[in-house]
């Protein structure tokens, strides 16, 4: 089996929780190590890996084929560009870049270098998103009229992560959680025709946006995307209404909780939600009205890395393309304009 030696550009939460376990679990990848600036932790979890002292040390290692850019948003463009120029394939965490122009430049450079570049949108591989998409694809609700996706948390105090809480390109909730919600909407419904957005600062002492409400306009459909750090009692995160009925589901994917608890991908019942988190389907089926919970689809972030493996070894399409990452940033740029000018922005 062909193997791909892979390095991370940080080993904080994202590297430790969302990337390294799935790279290590996949037989087609070899985890080479991570660039660690101050704390040196990766060798505590993976004995035979390297703690690289600099980005240059990672890029100079000719055995490394794939680089994971899992650093703050405002560094994505520069680090991905340097990795591509070093002839590495690249995975870039969401948000792909902070501007559409930077995203298009990375796409063009990857094509010039004949390297693959992909955006890590792990929430597509949540049981939540998969279940919603399955309900819609199977036409259980008829023609969809409206959908609403939430990412609500209760974090009223300003957090310690400077890159998220200090005004700068890539900071704020819109660039943090917005790509998750926007990508889910585009993955299921495609690009809208127009955008309207309201973006606010609600927390005491906050200097960056921490609340947003985005409306996506489709010809016969409206999709609302909402996130807040001031929601102690959240409503269901997924609401979809069609001509025949409705589907309502809480945010229930178990993978992040299991990873934080030290569980490893591939263990029994991986990514399977308990039935207490199953969504409610209230619709018409075979001429009768039904109202019942339906089993959630299995979540598996490992499927993203299987897609990367197939892209690199069998020249398949990336699981999330640069174009898809760019489209997310187009929505964010339109939302910023809409909020500033208080108007609907045509795409």
Query: Predicted confidence band at 174 (pLDDT cuts at 50, 70, 90)?
Result: very high
pLDDT per residue over 280-303, tens digit each? 999 999 889 999 999 999 999 999
Cα angle vertex 281, ends 279, 287, to 5°?
160
Contact 163, 72 (CB under 8 A): yes
Domain ranges of the chain: 4-120, 123-299+331-346
| Mean of pLDDT over the chain | 96
Cis before 320 (ω within 30): no
Q: What does pTM read for this prediction?
A: 0.96
pLDDT at 38 (0 to 100): 85
Name the architecture of domain 123-299+331-346.
2-Layer Sandwich (3.30)
pLDDT at 160 (0 to 100): 87
pLDDT at 268 over 90: no
Domain 4-120 shares a fold with domain 123-299+331-346:
no
Taking each helix axis as running N to C, give the angle between helix 178-189 and helix 127-137, from 0 to 180 degrees, rounded to the nearest 10: 20
pLDDT at 161 (0 to 100): 83
| Mean pLDDT calculated for residue range 189-204 | 97
DSSP 237-301: SEEEEESS-EEEE-----HHHHHHTT--TTSTTTTPPPGGGPEEEEEEETTEEEEEEEPPPPP-T
pLDDT at 87 (0 to 100): 98
Q: pLDDT > 90: what percent of the chain?
A: 93
pLDDT at 39 over 90: no
Query: Predicted confidence band at 135 (pLDDT cuts at 50, 70, 90)?
Result: very high
| Range among 36-40, 163-167, 338-342 rated most confident | 338-342
CB environment 49-87: b (16+ within 10 A), e (fewer): bbebeebeebbebeebbbbbbbbbbbbbbebbbbbbebe
The closest of 179, 175, 61 to 124, measured between CA atoms, is 179
Q: Any idea which fold 4-120 has?
A: Rossmann fold (3.40.50)
pLDDT at 1 (0 to 100): 87
Q: Which of 125-134, 212-221, 263-272, 302-311 is the least confident region?
A: 263-272
pLDDT at 162 (0 to 100): 80
pLDDT per residue over 307-319, tens digit each? 999 999 999 999 9
Q: Which of 86-90, 113-117, 251-255 is the least confident region?
A: 251-255
pLDDT per residue over 227-250, tens digit each? 999 999 999 999 999 999 999 999
CA distance 202 to 247: 30
pLDDT at 131 (0 to 100): 98
pLDDT at 168 over 90: no
Question: Which of residues 335 and 269 earns the better pLDDT score?
Answer: 335
The residues with which 107 forms a beta bridge, in sequence order, are none
């Amino acid at each position: 089996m062909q193997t791909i030696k892979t390095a991370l550009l940080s080993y904080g939460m994202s590297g430790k929780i969302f990337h390294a376990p799935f790279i290590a679990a996949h037989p087609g990848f070899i985890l080479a190590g991570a660039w660690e600036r101050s704390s040196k932790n990766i060798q505590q979890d993976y004995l035979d890996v390297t703690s690289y002292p600099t980005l240059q040390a990672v890029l100079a290692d000719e055995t490394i084929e794939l680089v994971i850019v899992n650093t703050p948003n405002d560094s994505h463009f520069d680090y991905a560009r340097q990795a591509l120029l070093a002839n590495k394939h690249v995975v870039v965490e969401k948000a792909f870049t902070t501007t559409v122009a930077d995203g298009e430049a990375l796409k063009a450079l990857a094509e010039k270098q004949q390297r693959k570049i992909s955006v890590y949108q792990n929430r597509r591989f949540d049981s939540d998103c998969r279940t919603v998409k399955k309900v819609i694809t199977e036409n259980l609700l008829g023609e969809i009229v409206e959908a609403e996706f939430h990412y609500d948390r209760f974090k009223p105090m300003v957090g310690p992560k400077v890159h998220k809480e200090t005004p700068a390109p890539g900071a704020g909730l819109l660039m943090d959680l917005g790509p998750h919600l926007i990508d889910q909407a585009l993955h299921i419904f495609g690009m809208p025709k127009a955008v309207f957005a309201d973006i606010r600062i609600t927390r005491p002492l906050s200097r960056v946006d921490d609340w947003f409400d985005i409306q996506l306009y489709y010809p016969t459909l409206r999709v609302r995307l909402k996130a807040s750090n001031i929601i102690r009692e959240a409503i269901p995160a997924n609401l979809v209404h069609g001509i025949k009925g409705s589907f309502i589901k809480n945010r229930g994917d178990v993978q992040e909780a299991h990873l934080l608890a030290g569980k490893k991908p591939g263990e029994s019942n991986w990514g399977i939600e308990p039935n207490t988190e199953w969504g409610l389907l209230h619709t018409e089926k075979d001429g009768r009205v039904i109202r019942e919970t339906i089993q959630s689809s299995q979540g598996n972030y490992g499927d993203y890395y299987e897609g990367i493996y197939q892209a690199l070894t069998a020249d398949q399409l990336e699981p999330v393309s640069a174009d898809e990452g760019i489209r997310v940033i187009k929505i964010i740029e339109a939302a910023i304009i809409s909020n500033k000018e208080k108007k609907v922005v045509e795409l």
